[in-house]
């Protein structure tokens, strides 16, 4: 089991306890909240919250994205592919840490009644991937350049309880849950010509129910629920729920998206606080005075994983997770990826080093100027592509005068006389001669993310640590 008081103690949860007015009386096995009767149940409830955080977040994301009568911009009804025609801008709030290197082709689908058939056109050598996430954020399948090549291909996404025959030439991809989230990505340079080429490929991506495969199919209009909050970021909507509201929704979702078999021992513990798969949440088993405190402490535990989880590496001021997309029973790792990188790919497809502090261990601030220097021959080794993206303190894009949210070789980066490459990270332009290498920063705090799609597994490689992202230096 990965959710444990011992791990939490190592993470420094004493501070979190203090913030919640809870003081541990002994610590031989981690914080023990014996200062209040029933405190073991309190701790158990934070375990359950962490366990269910991805499923609840996916559902709240689904509600916001699909609350449309037809496909419009970044949103569209259930069962329809949403093709983004240009990179997201600074107003995009549907998911945290979006990218500005690929055009998304995404959508939510229920596979409880019948399978859905995905038809993929010949991508003509273009880098792409079509990861499919279940309700718990596990990437259970990922057709794409790395795994299946760029030729035409057809798949049937089936539900956990489906069995039957499929048409010839259609390969089955079985989802562990009844909810499926397709988050396809097609690489695009962003030029008008390349936009047009990618749009043509997006238009050939088709998703239809199995019963309509090979027939004319017109997707039905979606329904709009006016009670759904379409303005507040999903993460904030989830985090502001009290424990009863959270667990009530989680229990409902677990009826159609049951836990994995390997999780049975962990889930069985949650019956004590009223959470049982297949049943409504029994709020009478959770103390009312716990309801407001559980989410805050649980989320503190989630965020602390960036410091203590074995899957998370710290190199030169960069932090990256080496086990994304497939989590097993590491519920804390699954939760931290949900919180700061919802929709992350498998590690073989992408690694996402992010940085919150400079080489001197100070927060990044737009009042300063920074340089990220790659020595000669040491640009990020990735077989797909690499880029560095700018985010504000909440992991959203930063508005800037040149509408540049990420920087990569597609900006025709200039090299120095010694063959090294400098990226200028600052609020104001470094000047016309250096603007190709400029990543605009906000006035205030910011964060950076280095994306490496299809990271090279042969040295030098970030996978085995033989390549490391360099430090970001503050300049005068």
Task: DSSP for 191-212, please give it.
Answer: SHHHHHHHHHHHHH-EEEEGGG
Q: Specify the pLDDT at position 185.
A: 96
In a domain, 230, yes or no: no
Task: Dump pLDDT digits (tens) for 416-452.
Answer: 999 999 999 999 999 999 999 999 999 999 999 999 9
Count other Cβ atoms within 10 Å, centred on residue 473.
16
State the CATH number of the domain containing residue 375: 2.60.120.1600
438-440/421-426 β-pairing: parallel
In a domain, 336, yes or no: no
Contact 277, 259 (CB under 8 A): yes
Q: pTM for the complete prediction? A: 0.87
Task: Dump pLDDT digits (tens) for 349-364.
Answer: 999 999 999 999 999 9
Distances (CA, A) of 311 to 96, 185, 391, 397: 20, 25, 23, 26
Q: Is the pLDDT of residue 142 over 70?
A: yes
Task: Dump pLDDT digits (tens) for 56-114.
Answer: 999 999 999 999 999 998 899 999 999 999 888 898 876 678 888 999 999 999 999 99
CA gap 216, 61 in Å, rounded? 30
**47 and 75 both lie in a single domain:** no
In terms of phi and psi (left: phi > 0; alpha: psi -120 to 50; beta: otherwise), the region of 303 is alpha
Confidence of residue 38 (pLDDT cuts 50, 70, 90): low
**114 and 175 both lie in a single domain:** yes
Contact 34, 114 (CB under 8 A): no
Is 81 buried (19+), middle (13-18) or exposed (0-12) by CB count in 10 A?
buried
The domain containing residue 156 runs over which residues?
Answer: 68-212
CA gap 123, 472 in Å, rounded? 36
**264 and 139 both lie in a single domain:** no
Residue 22 CB partners (closer than 8 Å, separation 6+): 33, 35, 36, 39, 293, 297
CA gap 53, 7 in Å, rounded? 18
Q: Is the pLDDT of residue 178 over 50?
A: yes
CA gap 195, 111 in Å, rounded? 32
State the CATH number of the domain containing residue 79: 2.60.40.1610
**39 and 83 both lie in a single domain:** no
Q: Specify the pLDDT at position 316.
A: 96
**106 and 29 both lie in a single domain:** no
CA gap 390, 295 in Å, rounded? 29
Task: Dump pLDDT digits (tens) for 261-280.
Answer: 999 999 999 999 999 999 99
Count of domains forming the chain: 3
């Amino acid at each position: 089991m990965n959710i444990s008081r011992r791990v939490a103690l190592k993470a420094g949860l004493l501070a979190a306890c203090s913030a919640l007015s809870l003081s541990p009386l002994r610590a031989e096995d981690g914080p023990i909240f014996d200062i209040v009767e029933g405190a073991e149940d309190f701790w158990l409830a934070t375990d359950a919250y962490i366990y269910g955080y991805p499923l609840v977040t996916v559902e709240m994301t689904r509600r916001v994205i699909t609350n449309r009568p037809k496909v419009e911009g970044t949103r569209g009804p259930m069962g329809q592919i949403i093709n983004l025609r240009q990179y997201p801008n600074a107003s995009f709030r549907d998911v945290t840490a979006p990218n500005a290197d690929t055009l998304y082709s995404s959508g939510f689908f229920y596979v409880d009644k019948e399978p859905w058939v995905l038809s993929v056109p010949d991508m003509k050598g273009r880098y792409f991937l079509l990861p499919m996430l279940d309700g718990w954020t596990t990437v259970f399948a990922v057709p794409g350049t790395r795994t299946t090549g760029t030729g035409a291909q057809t798949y049937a996404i089936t539900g956990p309880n489906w069995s039957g025959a499929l048409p010839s030439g259609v390969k089955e991809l079985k989802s562990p849950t009844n909810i499926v989230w397709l988050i396809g990505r097609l690489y695009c340079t962003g030029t008008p010509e390349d936009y047009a080429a990618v749009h043509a490929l997006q238009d050939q991506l088709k998703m239809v129910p199995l019963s309509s495969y090979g027939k004319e199919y017109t997707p039905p209009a979606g329904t709009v629920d006016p009670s759904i909050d379409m303005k507040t970021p999903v993460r904030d909507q989830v985090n502001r729920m009290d424990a009863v509201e959270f667990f009530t929704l989680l229990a409902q979702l677990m009826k159609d998206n049951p836990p994995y078999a390997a999780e049975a021992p962990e889930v069985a513990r949650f019956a004590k606080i009223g959470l049982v798969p297949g049943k409504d949440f029994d709020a009478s088993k959770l103390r009312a005075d716990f309801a407001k405190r559980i989410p805050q402490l649980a989320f503190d535990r989630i965020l602390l994983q960036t410091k203590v989880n074995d899957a998370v590496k710290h190199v030169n001021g960069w932090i990256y997770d080496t086990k994304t997309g497939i989590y097993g029973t590491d519920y804390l790792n699954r939760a931290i990826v949900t919180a700061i990188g919802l929709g992350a790919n498998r590690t073989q497809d992408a690694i996402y080093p992010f940085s919150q502090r400079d080489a001197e261990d100070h927060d990044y601030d737009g009042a300063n100027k920074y340089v990220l220097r790659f020595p000669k021959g040491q640009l990020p080794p990735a077989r797909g592509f690499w880029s560095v993206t700018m985010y504000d303190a909440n992991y959203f894009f930063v508005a800037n005068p040149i509408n540049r949210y990420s920087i990569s070789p597609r900006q025709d980066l200039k090299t120095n006389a010694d063959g090294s490459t400098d990226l200028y990270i600052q609020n104001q332009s470094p000047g016309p001669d250096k603007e190709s290498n400029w990543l605009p920063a906000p006035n205030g705090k910011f964060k950076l993310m280095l994306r490496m799609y299809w990271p090279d597994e042969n040295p030098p490689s970030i996978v085995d640590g033989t390549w490391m992202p360099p430090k970001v230096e503050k300049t005068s």
